[in-house]
Amino acid sequence: MWISSLCDSTQKGKPDIELVDLSSRFNTINEIMEVTTKPIIFDGDTGGMIEHFVYAVRSLERMGVSAVIIEDKIGLKKNSLFGTEVEQTQDDIEHFCAKIKAGKNAQLTDDFMIIARIESLILEAGMDDALLRAKEYVKAGSDAIMIHSRKKDPREIYEFCDKFRSFDNKTPLVVVPTSFNEASEDELASHGVNIVIYANQLTRSAFLAMQGTAKDILLNHRAKEVDDRLMPIKDIISLIEPL
């Protein structure tokens, strides 16, 4: 299960700029854990200050979360898919490595994973920068590498994965194919990808459906016209079975 900061913020009526505090996001995790036992990956945005990140790691680990992904940017968080259209600052390698090391040192078990998300391709810093960062982040203790791109063509992602796998066959690779959604899981796996995250499609489809339903009810002044796209009452009331 992916705990998206974009989806969590949107659900709470807030912009995706790390405005929703960790206490609120932890409540979301607890609510999700009420209805699933599946592994949870937490979208940790930038991870914040190193001194704060270590406490987040301890809390997430204690709650039973499996992994946190943090991106190598600093300052006010902006959604990566804006790319260079808005001002975004990439963290320097040394500081981000220190954040990874501090997080790993704060863990109490070997099970929790810290995954480094590289923004070099998003910010047009180049393939060489992305690969250099991947090497350094793994050395710093990152348990996996997430590579991101806002290009619709997946060739940039394939190139990174192939080059990364030429010197590292062990560290898991994570991708989030929001933009390059023509890439299939089999194709991504053939280039060495281990984890594919569908980060926001459920929220985006749910909002579109709810918006359409609301419009039709307002237009017709009744709910009959939307009946064929609703889950039956009996199904929704029995969706969560009593213990």
Catalytically annotated residues: 16
SS3 3: strand
First vs last C-alpha separation in the chain: 22
The C-alpha torsion from 31 through 36 and 38 to 42, rounded to 10°, is -10
Within 13 Å of residue 233, how many CA atoms lie on the same side as its CB? 1
The C-alpha torsion from 15 through 17 and 18 to 20, rounded to 10°, is -10
Q: Hey, what amino acid is at 185?
A: E
b vs e for 19-38, b when ≥16 Cβ sit within 10 Å of the residue's Cβ? Answer: ebebeebbebbeeeeeeeee
Tokens of 35: 């209805």
Contact (CB, 8 A) for 197 and 4: no
C-beta neighbour count of 164 within 10 angstroms? 22
Q: Give me the residues paired with residue 117 across strands.
A: 71, 146
Tokens of 151: 């290009």
Contact (CB, 8 A) for 118 and 134: yes
SS3 39: coil
